[in-house]
Structure 1
Amino acid sequence: MIPLLLMFLAVLATAGRVLGLMLASVVVGWFLGYQAVKSKAFENVFIAAIEVFESVPVISFFPIVLALFVLGVGGPLGVELAADFLVFTAVVWNIWMGEYQAFKTVPREMLEVSQNFRFGLLDRLRYIYIPFSVPRISANLFPSVSDGFFYITVSEVFAVGIHTYRTFGVGTLLDTYISQALWTYVLETFIVLGIVIVLVIIGLREFSKRAVAKYTLDTDMPIVRRGRLNVRESIRFTAMASVNPLNRPCKIQHGP
């Protein structure tokens, strides 16, 4: 195969692995974050686990990878799952913490509105929790991408004992070129990798701009719960509405 094409395919495989696992971590984090804000016991365990595992290097997960995937599943699938798990542990913690913080700060009035409309789990996630978490997710995408690409060489080529396991990607390709002293190919691979990373960062930046502009909550008008009279909220709503310039009557100036 043409070396440049092989470099391009390896970099695409690595980038796809990182971005795909980030998407998976976002989806899983929505359900874990929702459970954390609903259950105090689960919240304590969830936060403690994030704080502990976030400080643990990816290399520390090698025994778990060996037991669960390489020996348990075996074959190319086991090695691929092992590499995916190692990348997953590098990108997941920032995203999960951001989603939890977003879910924790959802305004009480919005939750009361969801109760009035009798939203179920999926409706609450779709219309309240997920949109409210998008700005926090956008802010945590960049450190997660950085961690994913930083640890990708360790994840795609790892040794346990006397055995070395590989899965296709830029880490495997660089390891092969370095072992054969093909320094020109190493430099070209880094150039291709740099170009792809720049394109990924530009894409994530545009997504973040659009996501923050679309989903950031920007309102000072209270949402009053239906079904019972709340004098304090009613007075506050009336006072705020009275100073709203859109509610003031237009003054028509007549000619002389």
Structure 2
Amino acid sequence: MSVDVRERPAETAIGGAVGAPQAERERPRLPTVDILVILGLIGGVYALARIAALWSAPLATHVEIDLSPAAIPGYALASVIRMAAAYVLSMVFSLIYGRAAASGAWAERLLMPVLDILQSIPILSFMPGVVLALVALFPNNNVGLELAAIVLIFTSQAWNLAFSFYQSLRTIPSDLREAATINRLSSWQRFTKLELPFGTIGLVWNSMMSWAGGWFFLMAAEQFTLGDKDFRLRGLGSYLKAAADSGDIGALVLGLFTLIAIIVLLDQLLWRPLVAWSEKFRFEQTESAEVATSRVLTALRRSALLEWLNETALPRVADELHRLGRRPPPRRTPAATRGIPLVGRTLLLVVFGAAALWGVYAIFRLLMTMTVEDWQALPPAALATLLRTAFALLIGTAWTVPVGVAIGLNPRLARRAQPLVQMAASIPATALFPVLLLLLIGLPGGLNVAAVALMLLGTQWYLLFNVIAGAQAIPSDLREAALIYRLSGWRRWRYLILPAVFPFLLTGLITATGGAWNASIVSEYVTFGGDTYQTIGLGALIADAANNAEFARLASGTLVMAGVVVSVNRLLWRRLYRAAEQRYRLE
């Protein structure tokens, strides 16, 4: 069983079509492809060995960031490996968490509020506990700092992936679920043949957003200050931050150029092939007139080495996983208890309860040290950041919906726009913000305008990538039906486009809301050229508290921010989610 109901050859991520015509299968192999694959594997092993040497190096109390061009390649390699490690963790977490949250009403009520809270907590609020704990575990080398950077990047990549997969699982058509039950698919088969394929398009586009989000916060993850302690890792993010702090425009431009080069390379070698491959998982009954293509994917499908892996090694692994996951079909149980055994639910509840009680007690003791002035500063700061977030989301939605739909419905436009969108989304706005600030600081409300602009730069991409994914997932037969019934203009948007992209847009709005609040910590509190600029807001309050190691103010600001974000999600976005599940699910 597969999500795509068209008659097409079975195909996998790295192999060619299993049922391809004989003439195509006998096509001469391109040995150059296999050579490049082997060289790529050797290069990957060498890069990992170099990074392992850096990890095992003694922990330095102070690291000087070399701004010379010769340092760029090594810094870029280190950052890419950190990003890749964080992305792998994010994807594994998202698949497990999203599936667990969608397994039943009880799990959803428990896990989704936790995800709301996690995605609303700024990276600076994770930083003290993560950094200090991991450095204490590995006091004699860089392992703790490297793991801390990976975990911090993970917090900027994981949440939108988890929301995307959860949203996909909640909108799987009922007939496909019933077919999986009738065919007695094992847990592993249900995951690989129904759930993962149905969520692939959203995961691919949100993966691009996750990498863009990782680049956005890379500067904060590789170089951070906690009181009198200065933690730095050699990487592209710390290079850009050091260049911005020192006012070295030449080094800043060189770092941004390197980042753009990496983005273009990843687009050609990774994202464009994945977008083309994900086309086969579109839920439709007629073949699309135009589909995304990738020369790299075409070349990889001709690789004898990858074909051997696909036909020999991977099937053995899949058979073993299928054997482990085989179990009789579940009996009909109430939705509230389905998917999680009673003992497991009880144990999970006890663990969560104990952890929550301990956390409440620790935070209560910390908050008792705050002054009256500290408490009085919280409401106006929260209101100011809430207004900036609302403006940023309104502006972002106004332009990303029409542009995202245009890109998603037109593969030719997507081929041209995809790398440009990725470059624009991946360039850390914090590296450009000093220049933007210098242009606006002299105007009335200059810092407020600049803060909204930086929030917009950090959040609009969540909306755009999700809208593109939603438009790309519209079945071709529905598009053809719209043409047959001559739907155009507003009627086409009302009856076809908006209902189709609405669930994806909601996912983008939820993650963009959390992203806007996270971006407030770098948009409301800016250090450039030795000067500090800040305005009223929770982001500025949290950033100032983190820089001065005032953990009580940091905790209070984080709690208020999490409370506001969760309240908005519960009162607004979650209700719209239920409406999307009931009214706009494909059946």
Residue in 2 that maps onto 1:185: 251
Report if aligned partners of 2:85, 2:150 keep a CA contact under 8 Å in 1.
no
Residue in 2 that maps onto 1:206: 272
Residue in 2 that maps onto 1:131: 197
Residue in 1 that maps onto 2:298: none
Q: Share of identical aligned residues, percent?
A: 23
Q: 1:105 aligns with which of 141, 151, 171?
A: 171
In the alignment, is residue 18 of structure 1 matched against residue 83 of structure 2? yes
Assess, with a 3 A threshold, how the Cα gap between structure 1 residues 131 and 175 changes in structure 2: closer, same or farther: same
Residue in 1 that maps onto 2:134: 69
In the alignment, is residue 56 of structure 1 matched against residue 124 of structure 2? no
Please give the TM-score of this superposition, normalised by the length of structure 2: 0.35
Kindly provide the amino acid, as one letter, of the partner of residue 35 in structure 1.
A
The whole-number CA distance in structure 2 between the counterparts of 1:3 and 1:60 is 32
Report if aligned partners of 1:141, 1:204 keep a CA contact under 8 Å in 2.
no
In the alignment, is residue 82 of structure 1 matched against residue 118 of structure 2? no
Kindly provide the amino acid, as one letter, of the partner of residue 113 in structure 1.
A
Residue in 2 that maps onto 1:119: 185
Root mean square deviation of aligned Cα: 2.6
Q: What do the CA deviations read for 1:86-112 (whole angstroms, capped 9, x no partner)? A: 100011111110001111122222223
Report if aligned partners of 2:94, 2:162 keep a CA contact under 8 Å in 1.
yes
The whole-number CA distance in structure 2 between the counterparts of 1:11 and 1:29 is 26
Report if aligned partners of 1:156, 1:169 keep a CA contact under 8 Å in 2.
yes
Please give the TM-score of this superposition, normalised by the length of structure 1: 0.75
Residue in 2 that maps onto 1:30: 95
Report if aligned partners of 1:66, 1:160 keep a CA contact under 8 Å in 2.
no
The whole-number CA distance in structure 2 between the counterparts of 1:168 and 1:129 is 39
Kindly provide the amino acid, as one letter, of the partner of residue 216 in structure 2.
F
The whole-number CA distance in structure 1 between the counterparts of 2:144 and 2:133 is 8
Kindly provide the amino acid, as one letter, of the partner of residue 101 in structure 2.
A
Q: 1:140 aligns with which of 190, 195, 206?
A: 206
Kindly provide the amino acid, as one letter, of the partner of residue 145 in structure 2.
V
Map 1:135-174; keep pairs closer than 5 Å. Answer: 135-174=201-240
> Which has the larger displacement, 172-181 or 192-201?
172-181
The whole-number CA distance in structure 1 between the counterparts of 2:106 and 2:72 is 48
Kindly provide the amino acid, as one letter, of the partner of residue 155 in structure 1.
A
Q: What do the CA deviations read for 1:62-109 (whole angstroms, capped 9, x no partner)? A: 122134312234331110111011100011111110001111122222
Partner SS for 1:219:
coil
Partner SS for 2:237:
helix
Report if aligned partners of 1:50, 1:93 keep a CA contact under 8 Å in 2.
yes
Partner SS for 2:284:
coil
The whole-number CA distance in structure 1 between the counterparts of 2:243 and 2:206 is 33
Partner SS for 2:142:
helix
The whole-number CA distance in structure 2 between the counterparts of 1:33 and 1:2 is 42
Per-residue deviation, 1:151: 0.4
Kindly provide the amino acid, as one letter, of the partner of residue 68 in structure 1.
A
Per-residue deviation, 1:193: 1.6
Q: Which has the higher contact order (CA 8 A, sep 6+)?
A: 1
